[in-house]
């Protein structure tokens, strides 16, 4: 009898200790996330769970700024490339049903796909981004599409997912939205059902994910978040983006709780048998990417035990999402944001440190924001001096950083300042077509057409495939 009482006491003490830890962790996570909200680096919803229990869940900011509609825990967000794990699971379900062979070439299922490359690329290589097919987002001809995508899925694959390969299939790794678009098309051909229907029938409905779906422009979606982008002056509406373009690589919308349901079902054997889930986590020799997931082994010296981190991020105009799971302890972190790109990985690292009792850092304004505020308060000369001081300290913006900062200055009509930082980029990378192209654009915005023409011509001279520079030159020759 005494042994039973002692056992019960130990159980209840352990339970209370666990609850106290969860409560303390929840308070710290809230403080961490609020620090990002305070500097306008986060606006959205967060969920942290352990197994079936929610450790923390809270919405911050607004689902719609124009109408002051606050975000809630059931606000719906576009999750962009977090769609890829869903696509991978649908493929694996068809593997489980014997309808897809992971080692089969594309051309077994798509008879019209170009044979010289399609015969060499397997389903396995599409899933783990080792196919060599270029990402359609890199193609200039895609940017010239009208605002609404005029192509069917099959036509889109033919036009934008059938380019010459970046490398021999299986010999390297490069992230490719095109690969997942092809996977979606293959599943439609095999099942004679749209990708959206497969999602509903095989994942959303069985799991009760009633707040998730394939995004169609037009139908009303209750509690849908509007998408925004951020510049140095604040938030503005994100550019329109036709959601038929990302398709099977990025067109799902969801909520934090639905994504928790999805994660619980995936790892609870409701969608796939265990061996196929484990197959999804087998990474290629070239990158820590399996089927729809990044997989990272975390050494024991960081959190006191070896951990396996399974994750995927998504970014699309106006939205940024991140889903992270630590397999051994069944921790799940879901962060959904509707103000463009933010530091979700830093937030997740902070939350993880809190969960494992490690120190964490609150948010600080970004370097670019500090530099902008300095220029605004003390002038361009002070900003340039600070840039050189940072370089001397080893904090280098680099060509990409200078280019980004220049465009952020252009967005708030600080063209003189933008020109100055684009010049720094040209000095840093004089053989880069892109730096001259950017400086030409800044001169054009400043109505200095002669200098704009000169720099666009240099951009085209350095890279004859720069069609943006070519078009600008034709336009400017009429003005000069």
Judge contact between 204 and 257, C-beta under 8 A. no
Q: Same domain, yes or no, for 416 and 314?
A: no
In a domain, 273, yes or no: yes
Judge contact between 282 and 274, C-beta under 8 A. no
Whether the model pTM is above 0.85: yes
Residue at a domain's end among 292, 322, 355: 355
Q: Cα 76–328–92 angle (5° rounding)? A: 60
Helix, strand and coil content of the chain, in percent to the nearest 5, comes to 50, 15, 35
Residue 144, pLDDT score: 74
Please give the residue range of the domain that contains residue 305. Answer: 80-355
Q: Same domain, yes or no, for 286 and 383?
A: no
Sign (positive or negative) of CA dihedral 259, 262, 266, 272: negative
Q: Which of 113-117, 307-311, 320-324, 392-396 has the lowest mean pLDDT?
A: 392-396
Q: Same domain, yes or no, for 336 and 373?
A: no
Domain count, the chain: 2
Residue at a domain's end among 297, 332, 355: 355
Residue 220, pLDDT > 90, answer: no
In a domain, 41, yes or no: no
Residue 154, pLDDT > 90, answer: yes
Which single residue is written with the structure tokens 């056992």? 7
Residue 327, pLDDT score: 96
Residue 304, pLDDT score: 93
In a domain, 371, yes or no: yes
Q: Same domain, yes or no, for 113 and 242?
A: yes
CATH of the domain at 295: 3.40.710.10
In a domain, 238, yes or no: yes
Per-residue pLDDT tens for 2-14?
A: 556 665 555 555 4
In a domain, 182, yes or no: yes
Per-residue pLDDT tens for 57-103?
A: 999 999 999 999 999 999 999 999 999 999 999 999 999 999 999 99
Q: Same domain, yes or no, for 378 and 240?
A: no
Per-residue pLDDT tens for 347-404?
A: 999 999 999 999 999 999 899 999 999 999 999 999 999 999 999 999 989 999 999 9
Q: How many CB atoms lie within 10 A of CB 479?
A: 11
Question: Which residues are paired to 332 by β-bridges?
Answer: 49, 325
Q: Same domain, yes or no, for 105 and 128?
A: yes
Q: Where are the beta strands (DSSP E) in 158-262?
A: 213-214, 228-231, 234-237, 252-254
Give 217's pLDDT tier (boundaries 50, 70, 90): confident
Residue 369, pLDDT score: 93
DSSP-derived letter for residue 203 is: I
Q: Same domain, yes or no, for 273 and 317?
A: yes
Residue 109, pLDDT > 60, answer: yes
In a domain, 362, yes or no: no
Judge contact between 38 and 64, C-beta under 8 A. no
More confident residue, 431 or 476: 431
In a domain, 63, yes or no: no
DSSP string, 62-108: EEETTTTEE--TT-BEE-GGGHHHHHHHHHHHHHHTTS--TTSBGGG
Residue 17, pLDDT > 60, answer: no
Q: Same domain, yes or no, for 474 and 401?
A: yes
Q: Same domain, yes or no, for 145 and 289?
A: yes
As a whole number, mean pLDDT of residues 105-126 equals 97
Residue 21, pLDDT > 70, answer: no
Q: How many CB atoms lie within 10 A of CB 304?
A: 10
Q: Are strands 213-214 and 69-70 parallel, antiparallel or unpaired?
A: unpaired
Q: Same domain, yes or no, for 290 and 235?
A: yes
In a domain, 414, yes or no: yes
Q: Which of 133-137, 145-149, 160-164, 305-309 has the lowest mean pLDDT?
A: 145-149
Per-residue pLDDT tens for 431-441?
A: 999 999 999 99
Give 129's pLDDT tier (boundaries 50, 70, 90): very high
CATH of the domain at 475: 1.25.40.10
Nearest of 178, 137, 165, 143 to residue 467 by alpha carbon: 143
DSSP-derived letter for residue 224 is: B
Q: Which of 16-20, 187-191, 465-469 has the lowest mean pLDDT?
A: 16-20
Q: Same domain, yes or no, for 375 and 320?
A: no
Average pLDDT, the chain: 93
Distance separating alpha carbons of residues 56 and 350, to the nearest angstrom: 14
Which single residue is written with the structure tokens 């196919």? 131
Residue 16, pLDDT score: 47
Q: Which two tokens stand for residue 288?
A: 């820590």
Q: Same domain, yes or no, for 210 and 250?
A: yes
Helices (H) and strands (E) in the chain, counts: 20, 13
Residue at a domain's end among 355, 386, 413: 355
């Amino acid at each position: 009898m005494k042994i039973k009482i002692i056992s019960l006491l130990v159980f209840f003490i352990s339970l209370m200790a666990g609850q106290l830890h969860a409560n303390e962790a929840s308070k710290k996570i809230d403080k961490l996330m609020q620090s990002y909200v305070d500097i306008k680096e986060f606006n959205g919803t967060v969920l942290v769970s352990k197994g079936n229990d929610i450790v923390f869940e809270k919405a911050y900011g607004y689902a719609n700024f124009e109408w002051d509609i606050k975000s809630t825990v059931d606000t719906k967000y576009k999750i962009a490339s977090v769609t890829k794990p869903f696509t991978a699971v649908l493929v694996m379900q068809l593997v489980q049903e014997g309808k897809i062979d992971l080692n089969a070439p594309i051309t077994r299922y798509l008879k019209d796909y170009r044979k010289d490359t399609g015969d060499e690329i397997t389903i396995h290589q599409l899933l783990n981004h080792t196919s060599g097919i270029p990402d359609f987002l890199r193609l200039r001809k895609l940017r010239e599409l009208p605002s609404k995508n005029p192509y069917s899925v099959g036509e889109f694959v033919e036009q934008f997912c059938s380019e010459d390969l970046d490398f021999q299939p299986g010999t390297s790794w490069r992230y490719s939205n095109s690969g997942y678009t092809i996977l979606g098309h293959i599943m439609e051909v095999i099942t004679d059902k749209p990708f959206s229907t497969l999602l509903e029938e095989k994942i959303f409905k069985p799991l009760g994910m009633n707040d998730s779906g394939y995004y169609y422009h037009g139908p009303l979606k209750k509690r849908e978040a509007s998408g925004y982008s951020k510049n140095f002056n604040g938030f503005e509406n994100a550019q329109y983006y036709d959601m038929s373009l990302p398709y099977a690589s990025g067109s799902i919308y969801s909520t934090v709780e639905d994504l928790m349901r999805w994660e619980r079902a995936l790892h609870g054997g409701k969608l796939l048998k265990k061996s196929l889930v484990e197959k999804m986590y087998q990474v290629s020799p070239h990158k820590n990417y399996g089927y729809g997931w990044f997989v990272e082994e975390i050494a024991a010296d960081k959190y006191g035990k070896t951990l396996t981190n399974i994750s995927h991020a998504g970014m699309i105009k106006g939205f940024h999402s991140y889903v992270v799971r630590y397999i051994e302890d069944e921790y799940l972190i879901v962060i959904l944001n509707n103000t463009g790109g933010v530091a979700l990985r830093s937030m997740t690292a902070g939350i993880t440190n809190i969960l494992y009792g490690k120190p964490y850092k609150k948010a600080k304004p970004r370097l670019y924001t500090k530099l902008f505020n300095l220029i605004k308060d003390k002038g361009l000369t002070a900003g340039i001096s600070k840039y050189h001081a940072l370089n001397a300290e080893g904090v280098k913006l680099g060509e990409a950083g200078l280019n980004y900062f220049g465009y952020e200055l252009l967005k708030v009509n600080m063209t003189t300042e933008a020109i100055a930082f684009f010049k720094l980029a040209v000095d840093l990378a004089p053989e880069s077509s892109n730096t001259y192209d950017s400086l030409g654009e800044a001169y054009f915005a400043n109505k200095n057409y002669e200098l704009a023409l000169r720099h666009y011509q240099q951009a085209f001279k350095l890279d004859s495939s720069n069609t943006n520079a070519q078009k600008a030159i034709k336009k400017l020759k009429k003005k000069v």
